[in-house]
């Protein structure tokens, strides 16, 4: 009996030792895992602290590698410009990685070579402009129509003679127009001044092409009316959409005649910022309106 008790006691001791060794190893592994997690967290925190891009309110974590790559290729650009351009997809070829436009039927609607409208999109509240302000058969969204008519009337009181020559364009109209440009100038050249169907701001019903009445719109830059628009258009809710020296942002050649309605308050802010609509959208509007 005594021998049996000794044997059992030995077995219990062995089991206890095995159990303690197992628990010790398990705790060690858990601690190792915890240490790895802690190290990873520390590295992430340090990486974020060292990441100057993340200090911007419009920073997108999923774009970090693209920011870094774009910075390497464009070392003279500011951090603000790098993040802005990458968020606009300007590190990619035009008309690639495109997405449907959001904020439909609002003044915040962004349409460019990376944001498109469906072929069946027709803006709400389109109204016909009176022939005293425009060529016949021209439509605009009501709010934009009311304000361009007010602008033209006030400009006339200042001795200016402004007329709308183009505004809302349907998808099919864009299609015919772009195809004709491609036929005459080729795709590469056409893409510098004309939008592919679905990518034209004209489909928003918020855009006007203007000129000095009965004058060639290509000469608009050389008129007093052009200077008047630069000084006053924002007070009526319109901004020059494709300004000089911003082709790298807008991806369009300078168009002295192309004005976009965004509303008076926003137009005044954009004017004061000296940013294009694309830039202002990415920095201040995108997160609030998507």
pLDDT tens track for 191-246: 999 999 999 999 999 999 999 988 999 999 999 999 999 999 999 999 999 999 99
* Residue 107 maps to a domain: yes
Same domain, 39 and 155: no
Q: Please give the C-alpha separations between residue 215 and each of 42, 90, 113, 162, 181, in angstroms, as whole numbers.
A: 66, 35, 30, 10, 22
Same domain, 135 and 38: no
* Residue 212 maps to a domain: yes
pTM score over 0.85: no
Known catalytic residues are: 255
Same domain, 216 and 257: yes
Same domain, 66 and 120: no
Same domain, 77 and 212: no
* Residue 93 maps to a domain: no
Q: Are 251 and 94 in contact (CB under 8 A)?
A: yes
Q: What is the distance between the alpha carbons of residues 22 and 25, in angstroms, rounded to a whole number?
A: 5
Same domain, 130 and 252: yes
Same domain, 140 and 215: yes
* Residue 6 maps to a domain: no
Q: Are 101 and 115 in contact (CB under 8 A)?
A: yes
**Domain residue limits at 228:** 99-289
Angle subtended at Cα 73 by Cα 199 and Cα 280, rounded to the nearest 5 degrees: 40
Q: What is the distance between the alpha carbons of residues 238 and 144, in angstroms, rounded to a whole number?
A: 8
Same domain, 118 and 159: yes
- Write down the pLDDT at residue 24: 59
- Write down the pLDDT at residue 287: 72
Structure token digits, residue 92: 């990619």
Q: Which residues of the chain have pLDDT under 70?
A: 1-50, 288-290
* Residue 256 maps to a domain: yes
- Write down the pLDDT at residue 65: 97
CA 264 to chain centre: 20
Count of the separate structural domains present in the chain:
3
HEC secondary structure over the chain: CHHHHHHHHHHHHHHHHHHHHHHHHHHHHHHHHHHHHHHHHHHHHHHHHHCHHHHCCCCCHHHHHHHHHHHHHCCCCCHHHHHHHHHCCCCCCCCCCCEECCCCCCCCCCCECCEECCCCCCCCCEEECCCCCECCCCEEEHHHHHHHHHHHHHHHHCCCCEEEEECCCCHHHHHHHHHHHHHHHCHHHHHHHCCCCCCCHHHHCCEEEEEECCCCHHHHHHCHHHHHHHHHHHHHCEEECCCCCCHHHHCCCCCCCEEEECCHHHHHHHHHHCCCHHHHHHHHHHHHHC
What CATH number should be reported for the domain holding residue 171?
A: 3.30.1380.10
- Residue 171: CB atoms within 10 Å: 16
* Residue 11 maps to a domain: no
Structure token digits, residue 4: 């049996």
* Residue 9 maps to a domain: no
Same domain, 32 and 115: no
- Write down the pLDDT at residue 197: 97
* Residue 2 maps to a domain: no
Same domain, 105 and 240: yes
Same domain, 73 and 168: no
Same domain, 224 and 169: yes
């Amino acid at each position: 009996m005594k021998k049996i008790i000794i044997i059992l006691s030995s077995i219990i001791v062995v089991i206890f030792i095995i159990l303690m060794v197992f628990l010790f190893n398990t705790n060690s592994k858990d601690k190792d895992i915890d240490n790895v997690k802690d190290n990873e967290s520390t590295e992430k925190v340090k990486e974020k602290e060292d990441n100057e891009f993340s200090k911007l309110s419009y920073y997108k974590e999923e774009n970090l590698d693209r920011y870094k790559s774009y910075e390497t290729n464009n070392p003279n650009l500011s951090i603000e410009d790098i993040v802005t351009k990458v968020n606009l997809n300007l590190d990619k070829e035009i008309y690639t990685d495109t997405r449907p436009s959001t904020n439909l039927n609002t003044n915040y609607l962004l349409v460019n070579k990376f944001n498109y409208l469906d072929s069946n999109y027709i803006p709400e509240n389109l109204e016909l402009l009176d022939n005293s302000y425009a060529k016949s058969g021209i439509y605009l969204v009501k709010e934009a129509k009311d304000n361009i008519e007010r602008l033209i009337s006030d400009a006339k009181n200042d001795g200016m003679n402004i007329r709308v020559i183009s505004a809302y364009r349907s998808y099919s109209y864009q299609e015919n127009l772009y195809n004709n440009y491609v036929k005459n100038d080729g795709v590469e050249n056409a893409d510098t001044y004309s939008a592919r169907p679905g990518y034209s701001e004209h489909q928003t019903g918020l855009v006007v092409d203007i000129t000095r009445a009965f004058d060639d719109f290509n000469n608009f830059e050389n008129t007093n009316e052009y200077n008047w628009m630069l000084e006053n258009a924002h007070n009526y809710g319109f901004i020059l959409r494709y300004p000089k020296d911003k082709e790298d942002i807008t991806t369009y050649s300078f168009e002295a005649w192309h004005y976009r309605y965004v509303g008076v308050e926003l137009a005044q802010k954009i004017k004061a910022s000296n940013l294009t609509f694309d830039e202002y959208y990415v920095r201040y509007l995108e997160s609030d309106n998507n």
